[in-house]
Each structure stands twice: as structure tokens, then as C-alpha cells.
Amino acid sequence: MKASILIPILFAGSGAIWISFGANPKLEFSKRIAKSKDRTSTANKLLEIGKDNPKDFEIYRSRQILLSALIGFAALLLPVFLGKPPAIGLLFAIFAASLTFVAIDQDLSKRVKKQRIMIDAEFPAVIEMYSLALSAGETPLVAMERIATSANGTLAKEFMRVVEQVRNGKAFHLALDEMGRGLDSLLIRRFVDSLIIATLRGAPLTEVLQRHAQEAREAQRNRVMGAAAKAEISMMVPVVFLILPISILFALWPSLANLNLISGV
């Protein structure tokens, strides 16, 4: 009975794929991925984590769809092998495939959020190094190249990308603007705007960068204080709902026991 259900499912799935994608399924699959509606938002997220190749979106989406399809197919077969009705297997497969698809998107969003936190944490130290290099007489591009080659971290890699774009013939302010748009960070955006305006108009950079470094330090301190406040509240939950009731119980138990003895007498 199981084989009689499984074999038609396999043939039906193969036929559906053949009808949908034609004689060249790989090419048709890539075309449909390239035309997906959420390409821009997903591509921007991939760009933030350093995947700037145009093929990275297709690779990411292909893996996401294939993994969801495999898990959905496995979820479809499981109820069949257990002797359950095929309708249950179909519902279970749709649920498992959808959950896998959403989970992969959520994982990408978490990686992007972690990347933004790392960049905001690195920004004060990097901007101070950049300000010192400019104070020593280096040009903005040379100072950025020095930081990119000597420092470690995500922001240093972004600086190196700007330097490489300038070497390839792109204007410095355009490369900076692209970096600011690619990184969804208010601190980076303000820094880039100030640097572009100062570079184009010949304004002094050292004071502007020092002010940005001070603001970044204050923003980082506020984030740490906010995280500490949230941690303090979360630590109060086991104290209030676990330790405190047990302490009250131990304090009241002797009195309750004595009252029971008195009432028994």
C-alpha cells in the first residue's frame, strides 16, 4: 500500500517539475529566481554581510528553495511510511517547507543584525585611528588604506573595498556613498556624509571626526547601559517567580504546621 502511494507521488512530482521548468530546468530556475519580488531586500542583506557578487543572490535563493523542497519531500514521505493518510503528509510537507524557508530568511536577518552590531562597536576605535592618521598629514584615501591594511574587522574590510573601487577608477566620494548606502547604520551614514562634504568643500576633517568619535562612544555606552538594564530585568524573573515563592514557603511552613497541630488538638 505504501509503495502504491509513493510511486505515483514521485512520478507526479517529477512531471510537475518538468512541466514547470521545461527542457532546461536549471536555466529556467535561475531566471525565475532573478525575477523574484524580494530580490532587492535580500540582495541588500547579502551585501551587508560581504556577499556583493551578483551570483550570490541566486546561490542563496537556490539553496533556500532546494533545502525547503528536500525537507518538505521528507515530511511528505514520513506520514506515508507511518501509514497515515496522504492528505496529512501533504499538509505536513507544506508546513515543514514553509517553516524551513522562513527559518533560512530569519537566519540571514540575524546575521545582518549581528553584522550591524559589530560595525557599530568597531566604529569608535576605527574613527579615532582615522582621525589620528589625518592629523599626521595623510590624505583621506591613504589614511583609509592604512586602516584597511592594519586593522581587523568588518569596517576595515569595507574601507578596503572603498580603496579598491578608487583604484579601479571610481571617484572617492562615490565609493564612500556606496559604502554608506550598503551599511544600514546611522553612525556610518553620518560619518560618510561628513567626510564627503569635507572632502568636496575642503573643510577641516580632524575636528569633525573627533566629534563623530565622541558621539559614537556615547552611543556605544548607551547601548551597553540599555543591554545591562534588559539583563537586570531578565534576571529578576527567576528571583520573583522561583526563589521568592520558595523562600516565602519556607518562612510560613513552620507557622502553618503549628496551626495544624493546634487545630488538631
The list of the chain residues with pLDDT below 70 reads 1-40, 50, 52, 54, 263-265
Residue 108: name the closest of 46, 157, 152 by CA: 46
Domain ranges of the chain: 2-113, 117-220
pLDDT per residue as tens digits for the range 6-39: 555 555 555 555 555 555 555 555 555 555 555 6
Q: How far apart are CA 199 and CA 177, in angstroms?
A: 12
All three cell numbers of 83: 501509514
pLDDT of residue 217: 81
All three cell numbers of 154: 568588518
pLDDT per residue as tens digits for the range 123-154: 888 888 888 888 888 888 888 888 888 888 88
| Domain 117-220, CATH among 3.40.720, 3.40.50, 1.20.81, 1.10.3300 | 1.20.81
In the numeric block, the cell 525537507 is attached to: 71
Residue 172: name the closest of 147, 200, 152 by CA: 200
pLDDT of residue 19: 52
Q: How far apart are CA 79 and CA 75, in angstroms?
A: 7
92, 75 contact by CB (below 8 A):
yes
Helix, strand, coil fractions of the chain, as percent rounded to 5: 85, 0, 15
In the numeric block, the cell 548607551 is attached to: 222
Residue 215: name the closest of 140, 113, 127 by CA: 127
175, 162 contact by CB (below 8 A):
yes
pTM surpassing 0.85? Answer: no
pLDDT of residue 30: 55
